Amino acid sequence: MTNTHRFLTTTFACLILTQTSLLHADEGMWLINHPPKETLKKRYGFEPTAAWLEHIQKSAVRFNSGGSGSFVSPDGLVMTNHHVGLETLQKLSTKDKDYVKEGFLARSRDQEGKSVDLELNVLMDIVDVTEQVRAAIKPGMTSEQAFKARRAVVSQIEKESQTKTGLRSNVVTLYQGGQYHLYRYHRYTDVRLVYAPEQQIAFFGGDPDNFEYPRYDLDVCLFRVYENGVPVKSQHYLKWSKAGPSENELVFVAGHPGRTDRLNTVADLTYLRDTELPMVLARIYRKEVQLTAFSSRSIENARLAKDELFSYQNNRKRREWALQSLLDPHVWARKMEAEKALRHAVAQDKKLSSLAGAWDRIEQVQKIRAQSFKEYVLLEAGWAFDSLLFGIARTLVRAAEELPKPNEQRLEEYADSDKASLELKLFSKRPIHPALEEVKLVYSLTWLAEHMGANHPLVLKVLAGQSPKARAAELVRGTGLTEVELRRRLYAGGSKAIAASADPMILLAKLVDPDARAVRKLVDTQVKEVQRQCYDQIAQAKFAVEGTSSSPDATFTLRLAFGVAKGYEEDGRQIPFTVPYAGLYERAAAQKYVPPFNLPPRWVESKDRIDLTTPINFVSTCDTIGGNSGSPVINKDGELVGLIFDSNLHALVRNFLYTEERGRSVAVHSSAIIEAIRKVYDAPDLAAELTGAK
């Protein structure tokens, strides 16, 4: 089947939800402390023990940069995806040594490359603090008072926990406000790069094959975690499976899915469809063109923009399919029906009558949300100032104002519980490229003028009598914030130092801060707080009517998904659950090796050495989404059988609902990793460490 044809049939058939898919039996991104025991027992005859769950929990690793991973050796080796490690690879690369393109292999511990600002988190324990948070919200409070009270109690819980345990402590909002759990993490910040293949094999097929299956990607990357200068002795780590998954075998995914919107009300989804997604997509298209145009100017430009461009292209497909899902009457009908049924049940039950108004209140706040969205993203989310240097300037300006305040009154990212992570990023020695900064700032200042209006008083002040182009040049060339030393001085000097600074980027951050804070406050108090209260009520209604049989929406915290390794049918053809290395070479040849279907030289040379029947990728029904990248796939025995790196297009509707008929998670097969490390990269020691043969 040609690629064009495959695309067509995919887009045509993708959103037709059939009877089968309504079973959604393997649905759920389950809390590790609340796994779906009954379903597992009933459907698969499997009963996870507390020890099994603890082992999974403490083997799982969160990449704070936005991904998942797991310990895979007793000596602190952590495995994730190449595309999760990409940001780190990019930060370690230079014009003369491009690890993204060429790959990386440390042949000894002293060759391992220390990341500049990567933070890994391992979840140590969970405490349910729902009642404590709920108790802080008194009847009759305005939403502004409630927001403050909630913020205060959450920061207090976090601070106390941190002081007591020394662990990073974050209160997580579950069920959009229905539950609050305190998560305590062990933080690791000395993270060193051990191995990465060439991006061209990690992301073979590039953007066109992204979210497609069959797929042929070695999307893997290995780091080693250090403490006090030596590798950590990881008590919990996943043993390597010799065989990998067999067809229809029960498997688990332990990772950190970023965000789903399955519990959102229809009004909330309407806002997403009509306001947020179109604007987010418009920005993605613009960013993608901007970064592609910048990249095409020279080889070095292409290197500089690579990770950012990948990220926007990846998000483009995601968001396009999200919008397409919400424009699909079949999806919409399911959402309407489910909401109608729940509301009907609430209306029938007198005990639940106090909850009945939640849906209407949510609908009411969507108007404020839609009206403030543009200003919020421009000024507070920083779409108008798309620049690392501006981000640094804002952090310094806000830190000077926030840190002197009592902990519970600060903006949450300046709370004591997150301070160490904030400083890690603020003082990062990551390279900053003025040429790229300037192009990004031209585009985003132009976007500001377009969307807020060229004659808006704030826009006039921001542009300071110049075109966006001239202004961006002045800002990037005039700032000294590329120097970490200056950042340290301004941070240490606090509000006095900030007040005295004539750095143009600091001045800009100060200029826009009142308006940015104002729109943030509006959204926090008039939208987010109200929604939290309403979703709390809806969650209560849901628990009362349906029981606690559904998992909360994803929140970039540890979740356990389950499913089976299993192919699917498409256009009458059976797509196999796993594909071998031979397919990689066939696809490259079929596309005449034109990028992104070319092969790194090492892979051309190694072809004869590789066992081409080795499976490279496989699919499973496990319920995953963005953020799960790098999650281990685990069998019943707790062994690692694969590494999640993607889903197929059919699974992109999962932002809103789970379907099992054709939606699949895509993983690298454990055998492919060992085969490559041994035969292509000639690193027997590393392979031995992974397989425990050492």
Contact 555, 175 (CB under 8 A): no
Return the number of the residue (252 or 312) whose C-beta is nearest a second copy.
Answer: 312
Contacts of 559 (CB under 8 A, 6+ apart): 29, 30, 31, 32, 254, 255, 256, 257, 551
Nearest approach in angstroms of CB 646 to a second copy is 16
Displacement of CA 681 from its chain's centroid (Å): 29
Return the number of the residue (78 or 452) whose C-beta is nearest a second copy.
Answer: 452
296 binds a second copy (CB under 8 A): yes
Return the number of the residue (316 or 664) whose C-beta is nearest a second copy.
Answer: 316
Nearest approach in angstroms of CB 85 to a second copy is 24
289 binds a second copy (CB under 8 A): yes
261 binds a second copy (CB under 8 A): no
Return the number of the residue (194 or 584) whose C-beta is nearest a second copy.
Answer: 584
431 binds a second copy (CB under 8 A): no
Residues 204, 218: Cα–Cα separation, whole Å = 8
Query: Which residue in this structure is represented by tokens 């990357």?
Result: 221
Return the number of the residue (196 or 649) whose C-beta is nearest a second copy.
Answer: 649
Return the number of the residue (68 or 313) whose C-beta is nearest a second copy.
Answer: 313
- Of positions 16, 22, 23, 341, contacts a second copy by CB under 8 A: 16
Return the number of the residue (93 or 446) whose C-beta is nearest a second copy.
Answer: 446
- Of positions 142, 246, 248, 298, contacts a second copy by CB under 8 A: 298
Nearest approach in angstroms of CB 201 to a second copy is 18
- Of positions 282, 381, 499, 604, contacts a second copy by CB under 8 A: 282
Residues 65, 70: Cα–Cα separation, whole Å = 15
- Of positions 45, 592, 608, 637, contacts a second copy by CB under 8 A: 592
598 binds a second copy (CB under 8 A): no
- Of positions 2, 94, 108, 574, contacts a second copy by CB under 8 A: 2
Number of CB atoms found within 10 A of residue 529's CB: 25
Strand pairing class (168-174; 239-240) = unpaired
Give me 283's structure tokens.
């920005």
Contact 40, 47 (CB under 8 A): yes
Residues 479, 388: Cα–Cα separation, whole Å = 12
Contact 528, 148 (CB under 8 A): no
Q: Which stretch binds a second copy (CB under 8 A): 8-16, 21-29, 143-151, 627-635?
A: 8-16
Long-range contacts of 34-39 (CB under 8 A, 24+ apart): 34/548, 34/551, 35/560, 36/549, 36/551, 36/562, 39/562
Displacement of CA 35 from its chain's centroid (Å): 22
Contacts of 115 (CB under 8 A, 6+ apart): 88, 91, 92, 191, 192, 193, 223
Number of CB atoms found within 10 A of residue 438's CB: 20
274 binds a second copy (CB under 8 A): yes
- Of positions 300, 483, 571, 605, contacts a second copy by CB under 8 A: 300
Q: Which stretch binds a second copy (CB under 8 A): 159-167, 259-267, 299-307, 342-350?
A: 299-307
- Of positions 110, 485, 594, 613, contacts a second copy by CB under 8 A: 594
Number of CB atoms found within 10 A of residue 247's CB: 12
- Of positions 301, 501, 557, 670, contacts a second copy by CB under 8 A: 301
Give residues 309-338 in contact with a second copy (rule: CB under 8 A): 316, 320, 323-330
14 binds a second copy (CB under 8 A): yes
* 8-state DSSP, 525: I
Nearest approach in angstroms of CB 599 to a second copy is 16
Return the number of the residue (43 or 469) whose C-beta is nearest a second copy.
Answer: 469
Give residues 433-472 in contact with a second copy (rule: CB under 8 A): 435, 438-439, 442, 446, 449-451, 453-454, 463, 465-470
Give residues 197-216 in contact with a second copy (rule: CB under 8 A): 206-208
Peptide bond into 580 cis (omega under 30): no
Nearest approach in angstroms of CB 384 to a second copy is 13
CA proximity to 651, closest of 636, 669, 666, 664: 664
Contact 216, 617 (CB under 8 A): yes
CA proximity to 152, closest of 400, 405, 401, 362: 405
List C-alpha distances in Å: 438 to 10, 300, 433, 507. 39, 16, 9, 17
Applying CB under 8 A, the site for a second copy has a residue count of 64
Return the number of the residue (378 or 677) whose C-beta is nearest a second copy.
Answer: 378
Nearest approach in angstroms of CB 382 to a second copy is 19
Number of CB atoms found within 10 A of residue 685's CB: 12
Nearest approach in angstroms of CB 356 to a second copy is 25
Residues making contact with a second copy (CB under 8 A)? 2-5, 7-8, 11-12, 14-16, 206-208, 273-274, 278, 281-282, 284-286, 288-289, 292-293, 296-301, 316, 320, 323-330, 435, 438-439, 442, 446, 449-451, 453-454, 463, 465-470, 473, 591-592, 594, 596
